[in-house]
Amino acid sequence: MPRPESQSWREYLGPGAVVSLLLAALTAAVGLGLPLLWRLRQVLQVASRDDRRPGDAVLVLGRSLDSGKPGAVFRARLDHGLALWREGLAQHLIVAGGLTGSAVRSEAVVGKEYLEARGVPASAVLAEDRSRHTLENLFFVREKLRERGWRRLLVVSDPLHLARASALARGLGMEVSTCPAIAAPPNRGGLGWWARALREASMLHWYHVGVAYSRFIGSERLLSRVT
């Protein structure tokens, strides 16, 4: 998700992000790109795997809106979450995503309305509308799970996003299974698809380096954001 226009990148990413980003770049360079290739392998493996199983809720991760409405990627995520709900794999849906970019309505509220318009009862859809990016999506959703005593989530996103999303969720101690919305752009195997795969591999590497750095320096403040 894009940062709010009023925030600097340093504020948006949070404490320790710049140092961990530099460390991620350094380790990738020293390792001659092998760390990124390893993470790319993980991204592709998770993208091709559907681990659907019964859970307490289906979590649909948010995506930036297009003129106040779900764009193609967000619609594909929402439609897949709806299909899983109709399949009976969970009784509830959670849509995550706050105000991003120049939007005046949150991704979660717009997504909730989209699902309700397609027959999901309002009582079956929860909106997490405080988050600005994937880590915050999951961090704030974890609060909702704890409030309700729920444990297992079926996480829905476009395929290439799921390796990072599941790593973040498990780092936060959440029990998740991944369910790729295969209809989401970009088309598999195209130039845009590979560009997205490499970006996700880089961000996954950055996340793991950031966690290792936080543990190495013993920073409870940094670890509290990701564990």
- pLDDT per position as a tens digit, 30-87: 999 999 999 999 999 999 999 999 999 999 999 999 999 999 999 999 999 999 999 9
Amino acid at 159: P
Q: How far apart, in whole angstroms, are the C-alpha atoms of residue 110 and residue 206?
A: 30
Q: Which residues contact 220 (CB under 8 A, 6 or more apart)?
A: none
How far is CA 91 from each of CA 75, 106, 120, 173, rounded to the nearest angstrom?
Answer: 20, 23, 10, 22
| pLDDT confidence bin for 15, thresholds 50/70/90 | low
Q: What is the pLDDT of residues 208-218, one digit of tens each?
A: 999 999 999 89
| pLDDT confidence bin for 101, thresholds 50/70/90 | confident
Partners of residue 93 on adjacent β-strands:
58, 125
Number of neighbours of residue 143 by Cβ within 10 angstroms: 11
The CATH number given to 49-180 is 3.40.50.620
In the chain, where the domains are located: 15-45+190-226, 49-180
Q: Average pLDDT for residues 200-208, to the nearest whole number? A: 96
Q: Average pLDDT for residues 89-100, to the nearest whole number? A: 95
Contact 152, 52 (CB under 8 A): no
